[in-house]
Structure 1
Amino acid sequence: MAGVSGCIKYSMFIFNFVFWLCGIVILALAIWVRVSNDAQEILSSEDLGSSPYVAVNLLIAVGAVIMILGFLGCCGAIRESRCMLLLFFIGLLVILLLQVAAGILGAAFKPEYDRILNETLYENTKLLSTTDESGKQFQQVIIDFQEEFKCCGLVNGAADWGNNFQQYPKLCECQDVQELCTNYNGKRVYKEPCISFIKNLLAKNVIIVIGIAFGLAVVEILGLVFSMVLYCQIGSK
């Protein structure tokens, strides 16, 4: 009867050991962020709402799942346990199917995401002209963004800043070629609003996420193949 391939067995073990370590690191960092006093102050900020807690809790869940799958893969390979290998296979297959479903939903609802993004940007434009303390942090973020990407305002250019335009002496100051500049209230400012740069930046990040997801899918498929081959070899011993 055929024996178990040592190459596949130890490749599975090494792969899943690294997988298990990654799960431990993600889980440990997420838990530290969740319980750290400094992190609690940031997460509890009124400006951030509840979304950071959701993100941290999601990371805890992801780290736990990765750690469990890595453990099942390691033990299943080194102990030649068909039960553990089957559980590993099912868990990895479920994750792969969820990734595919998320990709399909993301493609199907892309127009809706674009609409929400536009509405959010137009709504946040009001924060640039406010004098309340609640908008100061957001204004500073946009100022830094403007300096880096050489743009001004969110949607309507310098006009988005309203009366706050005079509060920041070097706001949107343009010292580049004439084509990038325009005059506003006696100052040379960047004429391009930042909405297009924000959309391009988000689009690039989405491409990176898709690339990472595709790479993970390839690794997961290899894990499925190796685990099933090892499962069948153990059964035929």
Structure 2
Amino acid sequence: MTQGRTQSTLQTGPLVTCMKTLLMVFNFIFWVTGIVLLAVGIKTKIDWYKYLELSSVYHPETPYVLIGVGAVIVLIGSLGCCCTVKGHAFLLFMYCGFLALIFIVELSAGIALLIYRNKLEKGFKEGLNNAIEIYGEDGKDEYTNSFNDMQKTLKCCGIVSYEDWYKTPWEKKQKVPNSVPLSCCKVDDKSCKNTGLLASNSSTSDIYTRGCHKLVVDFIDGNLGPIGGVALGISFFQILGAILACFLAKSINKAKYEQVA
């Protein structure tokens, strides 16, 4: 009987060591994904918000969700490393529960991002139409600045084309007919510096002629699509971590029971 228990313990020992190694590898990858999500959330808040806030379907809390989920993953990934090293079954079961909870959150976030991506084209068309109508009005500096930043950064002008500006309330207030904002200028020439606008019918070579709508949709769509896909992939990857943590906890309990017996 003693010999049987000894053989069983010898078999369980290497299994626990192997499971700990695999779980540590998982914890490291899990921790890195948290850093990536945290960085994406910060980048979304700093760089992409000027495009996102022009959409009629923009949700200002989106960057904070990414930042929050990333920070929680980093924290729980660090906790997972401690749980694995200490080898306490209770802590490992608790870690497994945290992974299951994050799995649900990330799965929901990934699906939401993919659905949100499909609404972008319509949302941006509506949002840009609304923003160009109130461009330059008092108290609407947020939209005016966002539109200017978009045109400068993406090197575009108007929604579908630069001629969209000809029909706007802003253009009707200008002294020069068929004018576009300074942000449409390719170069900061003397005319732009003095007037803050450029008569596009005099020289279209001095302004951007491509519309911003397709460029914005392609830019955001090209980023949100991969992010949503990665979020879904990471969420299912966490199932592996939860299984490893659960098996390790059971193996540790089994090894303790065999030692006592």
Q: After TM superposition, list the pairs within 5 Å mapping 1:1-237 onto structure 2.
A: 1=8, 2-3=12-13, 4-13=15-24, 15-16=26-27, 19=30, 54=61, 58=65, 61-62=68-69, 64-106=71-113, 114-128=121-135, 130=136, 132=138, 134=141, 137-147=145-155, 151-160=156-165, 162=171, 163=174, 165=179, 168=182, 171=185, 184-188=200-204, 190-237=208-255
Higher relative contact order (CA 8 A, sep 6+): 2
Mapped to 2, the partners of 1:203 and 1:232 lie a distance apart of: 44
Q: Give secondary structure in 2 for the equivalent of 1:236.
A: helix
1:89 shift after superposition: 0.9
1:141 shift after superposition: 0.7
1:21 shift after superposition: 8.1
Deviations 1:36-73 (A, max 9, x none): xxx9xxxxxxx99xx87x56754664355224422431
1:90 shift after superposition: 1.1
The one-letter code matched in structure 2 to 1:168 is: L
Relative to structure 1, the CA distance from residue 87 to residue 217 in structure 2 (aligned partners, 3 Å threshold; closer, same or farther) is same
Mapped to 1, the partners of 2:180 and 2:36 lie a distance apart of: 47
The one-letter code matched in structure 2 to 1:101 is: S
The one-letter code matched in structure 1 to 2:162 is: G
1:199 shift after superposition: 1.0
Mapped to 1, the partners of 2:183 and 2:227 lie a distance apart of: 38
The one-letter code matched in structure 1 to 2:17 is: G
**CA-based RMSD:** 4.0
Mapped to 2, the partners of 1:26 and 1:102 lie a distance apart of: 12
Identity %: 25
Relative to structure 1, the CA distance from residue 64 to residue 99 in structure 2 (aligned partners, 3 Å threshold; closer, same or farther) is closer
Q: Rg bigger for which structure?
A: 2
Q: Give secondary structure in 1 for the equivalent of 2:182.
A: coil
Q: Give secondary structure in 2 for the equivalent of 1:186.
A: coil
Mapped to 1, the partners of 2:16 and 2:105 lie a distance apart of: 31
1:7 shift after superposition: 2.6
Mapped to 1, the partners of 2:37 and 2:226 lie a distance apart of: 20
TM-score (norm 1): 0.65
Mapped to 1, the partners of 2:28 and 2:95 lie a distance apart of: 13
Relative to structure 1, the CA distance from residue 16 to residue 106 in structure 2 (aligned partners, 3 Å threshold; closer, same or farther) is closer
The one-letter code matched in structure 2 to 1:140 is: N
Q: Give secondary structure in 2 for the equivalent of 1:5.
A: helix
Deviations 1:124-167 (A, max 9, x none): 11354x265826533431331342xxx32124533326248366
Relative to structure 1, the CA distance from residue 138 to residue 158 in structure 2 (aligned partners, 3 Å threshold; closer, same or farther) is farther
Deviations 1:98-132 (A, max 9, x none): 2223344455566655443322121111354x265
How many residues are matched? 204
Relative to structure 1, the CA distance from residue 226 to residue 200 in structure 2 (aligned partners, 3 Å threshold; closer, same or farther) is same
TM-score (norm 2): 0.60
